[in-house]
Structure 1
Amino acid sequence: MGKREENKNQFATTRIVELEKEYERINAEWLGFHYKIAVAFVLAAICIEIIVSIIVLKQQLSTATTTMYVLKYLIIPMISNILLLITGNILRKNQKLSHMQRLYSVSIMFVLISFVITTIHNISSPVYTLYILPIVITGIYAVPRLTMRTGILSIFLFLSAEFLIPWNPSQNTIFESPLRLLGIVLIFALLVMFTLIFTIGMYYLEKKNIASINLELERYELEQQLYIDELTGIFNRLAFNTDLTRLNEQLVPSRYVLTIADIDHFKKINDHYGHYIGDECLKSFATVLNQYSHEPVVYRFGGDEFCLLFQENTLQEAYEICLELQKQIQKITIPEHPELTITASFGLAESTSTKGMSDLFLQADSVLYKAKQERNKVVLFEEMS
């Protein structure tokens, strides 16, 4: 058990970062699968192009020479898509790029592969529906702007392939074929529809993820309230018992020092100055324990009794820290009563493999009792033996 977070805002930031890293890890796994889909897409296209080329050349369905046909419909698309795959893989593995930049790299690569295939085989307008796949795949990332930009790029390249790049001069243009015009209009509407629907869907999925993060933080805050002392703002008795139990349940026993401290003559302070001043003393006392003790976790056990749990100090080192704490406690001033001086007594006991949790507490409590007989003292359990 490490030292508990003392600042809820710090925890919130840490927790958000952890969740964002988990989302990035999941997206990174999908990014690898995304790339594999692109590889399979290209391999399938190459196989189909080879089969179609064999049929076309064997049946003499093309007016182009064999060399020109193979170059335009087999070699160029094959080389182009392989180069896109290589570039995409390099960018995907480039750790100098941000996580989002790598997502964009593979997404754009997939759209460009679709562009190569549809441009070369756009004699049949339904082939343009291949642009839907890159749009749909980005939906897993739950990044609305990525889906939107992928869709816009797909639509732009679709229109470019149809109107700006006459790869097959023999095909009819949309102005010569009403049926092709209808097909192009329907595909354009389909791409726009998929882009909008998936972008809006990703927007709501992103909101859902943010809501889940907020709910997690609210849950933690409610949980923390159970462990925080309302008056002093430090950890309470429940937190102390929970942490001590965790320590004792560890597979590898750890050595730690338990210190019990309380304010000397606190009842007299309450009786003479009133409970409001008594509460101010408790809050100031807790503040000093928190601010001037860098290692131990500090708890209010009850009343004016506080516990300090040292995990990285020896008994002697904890003793020295408590002596320093005594000096700082004596510097506490209560503005309403500057004449009031506060002192505290400390009892320390070190855990061993043979000591149970209750034994350790009883030992620290017993030496605290001895310290309070003289007041403003720090007593180790070994001094009792």
Structure 2
Amino acid sequence: MSNINKEDSDDIYIRTVQKEYTKIDGKWLQLHYKTAVVLVIVAFLVEVSMGIFLINSDMLRTTVHRFFLKYLIFPSGINFIFIALNMFIIKSKIFSQTFKIYAISIIFVCINFVLFAVHNAFIAIYYIAAIAIMLTIIYANYYVTGMTALTSIVSMVISELFIQWDGDKISIFQSTLRFSEFLISLISLITFSIACMIIIRFERKKNSASIQKEIERQQLQQILHMDEMTGIYNRKALHNELKHVEDTPSDTQHILAIVDIDRFKSINDTWGHHIGDRCLIEFAKILKEYHTNITPFRYGGDEFCLLFRGIRMADAEIICREIQDKVNNLAFKDYPKLELTVSFGLAAISDQIDTVRLFINADHALYEAKKVRNSICVFK
């Protein structure tokens, strides 16, 4: 726990959520890459199977050497090069995750393009482009999905209009059926791309709403654990923190200091409760200055607590003396005779001492310190 304002708290939560989103994107990126690998391997195996079938039938219209070179070695070779490039990018530490997302998405389209160009005699193969677009939705990035959709559509048109790789391919200008199938495929792909953009829009809205709701919940939780007057944590927050310390064993040293403003009742009776409140606020301001490995709490009335983490008892005593000096030097211009002093009771937690006993020990040490006033007592 630490003393942070509302804006800092919101920023920390948003950064935390964004970090989690980045982790999810990273995992999906790995799946995206593996899908491309599977696609290339499956395409290669299908080509081998089809080659064996055609060789043993009377459907082969070219030489075996030419068939394997044209439909297996050349396209599969290019796609395996793309996979090697994918592997280099995905494992490289010099590229950002954003760059990797764009690169893997485009390379997936390039793999599809090779398959389109070689097998565009089969119009149904164009729907593989939908897979390339669909795999980018999880990133919830308009630019990634839009770029993937555009390059997929352009590669589809180029493959159909300008590449005649398959000798059995019928030109769309020679067949009304072929032309209509091409248009239907093109329109379907464009429609699918638009639908993906709409999904991304609503997904981003849902994510933003979830973040906002969680921020509001965090703010409410913060309010419930803050003392309204002094702006530091309250008794409930202290109990929660002590429970967390008890339930989460670690090698970190924890020391509890209970702090009391000396003769506070007399201050209220002499100067008025509004001055007493002002003393509490000024004292809390001093405690807020010590935010490194220390968390201050207002336990109630003029009683405060400090929870030290990873600090030796001797260092904790030094910090308490510094706080005492600053309190002693507090000046109230309207009330020059008003002087503040504070007393500290410290106790350290150990394997034999739970947090309940820790509080009792610190309170006992404070009782001893109050006998002298403006002093520090360590429970032993």
TM-score computed with the length of structure 2 as normaliser: 0.90
User: Following TM superposition, by how much is the alpha carbon of 1:206 offset from its aligned partner in structure 2, in angstroms?
Assistant: 2.2
- Contact 2:252/2:310, CA 8 A, preserved across alignment: no
CA displacement, residues 214-256 of structure 1 (integer Å, 9 cap, x when unaligned): 2222222211211110100101111112222222334458653
Establish whether residue 280 from structure 1 lines up as the match of residue 309 from structure 2: no
Establish whether residue 124 from structure 1 lines up as the match of residue 122 from structure 2: yes
Query: What 5-or-longer segments of structure 2 have no aligned partner?
Result: none
Select between 62-71 and 72-81 the one with higher mean Cα deviation.
62-71
- Contact 1:111/1:150, CA 8 A, preserved across alignment: yes
- Contact 1:143/1:203, CA 8 A, preserved across alignment: no
Partner of 2:297: 299
Whole-angstrom distance in 1 between the partners of 2:125 and 2:152: 13
Give secondary structure in 2 for the equivalent of 1:259.
strand
Instruction: Find the partner of 1:42 among 15, 40, 43.
Output: 40
Whole-angstrom distance in 2 between the partners of 1:5 and 1:355: 27
Q: Figure out how many residues of one structure are paired with residues of the other and give that number.
A: 380
Instruction: Find the partner of 1:323 among 321, 324, 335.
Output: 321
Whole-angstrom distance in 2 between the partners of 1:130 and 1:292: 61
Select between 212-221 and 58-67 the one with higher mean Cα deviation.
58-67
- Contact 2:3/2:232, CA 8 A, preserved across alignment: no
What are the residue-to-residue correspondences of 1:1-385 with 2, within 5 Å?
A: 3-4=1-2, 6-56=4-54, 61=59, 64-168=62-166, 171-251=169-249, 255-292=253-290, 294-382=292-380
Whole-angstrom distance in 1 between the partners of 2:53 and 2:251: 75
Whole-angstrom distance in 2 between the partners of 1:49 and 1:184: 24
Whole-angstrom distance in 1 between the partners of 2:65 and 2:360: 94
Query: What 5-or-longer segments of structure 1 have no aligned partner?
Result: none
- Contact 1:261/1:346, CA 8 A, preserved across alignment: yes
Whole-angstrom distance in 1 between the partners of 2:72 and 2:240: 69
CA displacement, residues 129-185 of structure 1 (integer Å, 9 cap, x when unaligned): 221111122223333322221111100100111122232466432222111111111
CA displacement, residues 38-91 of structure 1 (integer Å, 9 cap, x when unaligned): 222222222332343445555565655554443322221111111111111111
Whole-angstrom distance in 2 between the partners of 1:338 and 1:38: 78
Q: Pick closer, same or farther for the CA change 1:75–1:240 going to 2, 3 Å.
A: same
User: Following TM superposition, by how much is the alpha carbon of 1:201 offset from its aligned partner in structure 2, in angstroms?
Assistant: 0.3
Whole-angstrom distance in 2 between the partners of 1:80 and 1:255: 61
Whole-angstrom distance in 2 between the partners of 1:148 and 1:193: 12
- Contact 2:3/2:291, CA 8 A, preserved across alignment: no
Select between 6-15 and 254-263 the one with higher mean Cα deviation.
6-15
Q: Pick closer, same or farther for the CA change 1:52–1:314 going to 2, 3 Å.
A: closer
Select between 373-382 and 173-182 the one with higher mean Cα deviation.
373-382
Q: Pick closer, same or farther for the CA change 1:66–1:286 going to 2, 3 Å.
A: same
CA displacement, residues 285-341 of structure 1 (integer Å, 9 cap, x when unaligned): 011012146442111010111111223223222222211111111222335435432
Whole-angstrom distance in 1 between the partners of 2:50 and 2:365: 92
Whole-angstrom distance in 1 between the partners of 2:312 and 2:121: 82
Whole-angstrom distance in 2 between the partners of 1:67 and 1:35: 32
Whole-angstrom distance in 2 between the partners of 1:354 and 1:88: 57
Whole-angstrom distance in 2 between the partners of 1:248 and 1:170: 76
- Contact 1:293/1:321, CA 8 A, preserved across alignment: no
Q: Pick closer, same or farther for the CA change 1:229–1:64 going to 2, 3 Å.
A: same
- Contact 2:2/2:291, CA 8 A, preserved across alignment: no
Q: How much is the aligned-residue C-alpha RMSD, in angstroms?
A: 2.4
Whole-angstrom distance in 1 between the partners of 2:73 and 2:189: 29
Give secondary structure in 2 for the equivalent of 1:313.
coil
Whole-angstrom distance in 2 between the partners of 1:131 and 1:329: 71
Percent identical among aligned pairs is: 36
